[in-house]
Structure 1
Amino acid sequence: MEDSFFVGSFRGNFVGYIDQNSDGSFTCYDRMSRPHGESGSLDEAISSLNDLYFSDASEGEPNVAGR
C-alpha cells in the first residue's frame, strides 16, 4: 500500500477507500470505487467514509453492516 492510500473496513466488510491527492486533499470512494467528494484532512475523509457506509441502506433495510 501507499502512504497516501487508506482502505476502510467494518467487521470484515469492505467500506471503501480514501486516496490523498497531489494538493494534499483527500478523496473518499465508496465500496464500488465511486468518488464521493473531497476533504481537507484525513480525519474529515474518514468521517465522510463512515457516514457514507452507515447511511447506505434503504429505509427499514439493514446495510451490509447489518445496521
Structure 2
Amino acid sequence: MRASRLVSILLILQARGIVTAAELAEELEVSVRTIYRDLADLGAAGVPVYGERGEGGGYQLLDGYRT
C-alpha cells in the first residue's frame, strides 16, 4: 500500500501542480501526518518535492521533473 501511495502522490503532483497536504490526505484517505512523512521520504529518495507557504501554497514538483 505504501509504495502505491507514494506513486499516487507523484502522479497527483505531476497532474495538478500545487496540492496541499490536506488535499492529498483526503484523496488518498490517510492522515495529513502520513502525507508529511511520505513527502519527506520522496525527498530523501531524490524526488524534488518542495513546499510553498502561505495563501495559494502547497507541495509541488520542481519544474521539469518527470517520473
TM-score (structure 2 length as normaliser)? 0.30
Higher Cα Rg, which structure: 1
Question: Which structure carries more relative contact order (alpha carbon 8 Å, separation 6+)?
Answer: 2
- Which structure has the highest strand share of the two? 1
